[in-house]
Amino acid sequence: MRESISNSGIDPNRIDRRARSVLGRLRSAGYDAWIVGGAVRDLLLGRRPKDFDVATDALPEEICSVFARARIVGRRFKIVHVVHGRHVTEVSTYRTSHDKDQAKVASSFEELRGQARVVSTDGVILRDNAWGNQQEDALRRDFTINAFYYDPFNDDLIDFCSGYADLRSRSLRLIGNPEARFIEDPVRILRALRISAKLGLSIERHTASAMRTCKDMIEKVSPRRKYDECVKLLMNGHAEKSWNLAEDFGLIDLLFPTSSPRDSTLIHKALQNTDHRVSDNRPVTFAFLLSVVYFSGYQLALERQDESESFDLRHTQAGNDALNELRGAMAIPRYASMFVRDVWALQSRLESCKRAQKTLALERFRAGYDLLHLRAETGSVDSALHDWWQAFQESSGVSQPPNVRKRRYARTSYRRTGTR
């Protein structure tokens, strides 16, 4: 089972110097320590790793005693952050595979206290802090290609799960029984989408079929973790591919539920745009994508409002209606929902061209303008309007407003007939 791969092709010099130093210090203190996870996988694929994670047999408290600046983080999954300046190396202690029979079943928060291994009544892992050896640690990881251990000092690569063969055949395979592993942590379904999209790997047949069977378990993931995973899924430079995969697996309705028809053309434009920005190293905002995904819901909600009310009131109410649908699926941080509301409110200001100078000075002008741009590209708003705002910015606000045919604000091409 334990296979040592010689001539792996990894250049030991590509291991981050801080991760290397963490390894060296732990080993000098008498512990076992290896580079694990995505970094080894990425190096084997000739890609630059995002981060370098370390696994060790030292317990969290023991890790902390080796480093002057280290702190234990996480409760569900305790790890240690070793800090060097502004950089953090994540160090995790070897764990055993999750044995359901040995785990405590908890139905309330109180029952979690002081327990190393706890599952919910649905079988979802709530605490995963039962320590083990290196082989057990490999088996509790998610995919075979994420379970390598690399030692840069001796250029030694260990593979417990036939990950090397899977990597060569470009296959993404969950370790163990896929259904059981997705049930104990449904986030692995989202990780499968992300890793497959990012690395261009095909999802192995049994893994893919279990993803379909277990997809509804996504609802059991904590709302905050779901939000964080969706950020990773769509902000990693492969948003469109990830979205398409999520759609293929029937996950979009679970992640982004809505009772309004989605404007798929607009959404795809935004996803492509996000991917281009990531590849150009320009900043991207998940909240902007949310504003696009829920824009049609917002527009329809705005149409339903009583026209005798002020725009501010109608906008607030419509924003609540649209965002509440998303809130049914995940926790949205306050700054993100504020961002989304501001981008939506800007659409009517941008369409009216009134108080243009003030609009230009608004904090979210750029994001609002970006949405207007996408709408102009899909034909749901007159492109003369976008052109005018572009000229207005370039001329620092001296252009005449465009002669755009006035249309009702919320009228869009994708509205279902008979919804009023």
Contact call for residue 53 and ligand ATP (CB under 6 A): yes
> Could you tell me which stretch among 51-59, 326-334, 339-347, 372-380 binds Mg ion (CB under 5 A)?
51-59
- Asked whether 385 and 356 are in contact (CB, 8 A), the reply is no
Catalytic residue among 16, 32, 51, 248: 51
- Report the C-alpha gap between 92 and 303 in whole angstroms: 52
Smallest gap, in angstroms, from Cβ of residue 222 to ligand ATP? 13
Contact call for residue 163 and ligand ATP (CB under 6 A): no
Catalytic residue among 142, 263, 321, 382: 142
51 is catalytic: yes
Smallest gap, in angstroms, from Cβ of residue 62 to ligand ATP? 20
- β-pairing, 156-159 vs 3-5, is antiparallel
With CB under 5 to 8 Å by kind, the binding choice for 142 among Mg ion, ligand ATP, none is ligand ATP
With CB under 5 to 8 Å by kind, the binding choice for 127 among ligand ATP, Mg ion, none is none
- Report the C-alpha gap between 287 and 367 in whole angstroms: 10
- β-partners of residue 93 are 56
Distances (CA, A) of 397 to 90, 262, 281: 49, 34, 29
Using the minimum distance from each CB to ligand ATP, give the nearer residue, 233 or 293.
233
- Buried-exposed string 276-311: b where 16+ CB fall within 10 A, e elsewhere: ebbeeeeebbbbbbbbbbbbbbbbbbbbebeeeeee
Catalytic residue among 53, 185, 263, 342: 53
> Could you tell me which stretch among 49-57, 161-169, 276-284, 400-408 binds ligand ATP (CB under 6 A)?
49-57
> Could you tell me which stretch among 22-30, 31-39, 245-253, 394-402 binds Mg ion (CB under 5 A)?
31-39
142 is catalytic: yes
- Report the C-alpha gap between 355 and 352 in whole angstroms: 9
- Report the C-alpha gap between 99 and 94 in whole angstroms: 15
Retrieve residue 414's tokens: 């994708």
Smallest gap, in angstroms, from Cβ of residue 47 to ligand ATP? 9
Site for ligand ATP in 133-162 (CB under 6 A): 141-142, 146-147
Size of the site for Mg ion (CB under 5 A): 3
Distances (CA, A) of 64 to 72, 82, 92: 8, 8, 11
342 is catalytic: no
- Asked whether 20 and 152 are in contact (CB, 8 A), the reply is yes
Contact call for residue 188 and ligand ATP (CB under 6 A): yes
Contact call for residue 38 and Mg ion (CB under 5 A): yes
DSSP state letter for 151: E
- Report the C-alpha gap between 272 and 112 in whole angstroms: 43
Q: Which helix (H) or strand (E) segment is 93 a member of? A: strand 87-93
Contact call for residue 319 and Mg ion (CB under 5 A): no
Residue of 187, 245, 374, 410 that binds ligand ATP (CB under 6 A): 187
List all residues 6 or more positions away from 406 whose beta carbon is below 8 Å from its beta carbon.
Answer: none
> Could you tell me which stretch among 50-58, 271-279, 304-312, 323-331 binds ligand ATP (CB under 6 A)?
50-58
Contact call for residue 55 and ligand ATP (CB under 6 A): no
- Report the C-alpha gap between 151 and 376 in whole angstroms: 53
Contact call for residue 382 and ligand ATP (CB under 6 A): no
Smallest gap, in angstroms, from Cβ of residue 51 to Mg ion? 5
Residue of 57, 166, 185, 351 that binds ligand ATP (CB under 6 A): 185
Using the minimum distance from each CB to ligand ATP, give the nearer residue, 38 or 297.
38
Give the distance from CA 212 to its chain's centroid.
Answer: 20
Distances (CA, A) of 315 to 138, 340, 417: 51, 12, 23
- Binding string to ligand ATP for residues 15 to 44, with x set by CB under 6 A, is what? ----------------------xx------
Residue ranges that bind Mg ion, judged by CB under 5 A = 37-38, 51
Residue ranges that bind ligand ATP, judged by CB under 6 A = 37-38, 50-51, 53, 141-142, 146-147, 185, 187-188
**What residues are annotated to the active site?**
51, 53, 142
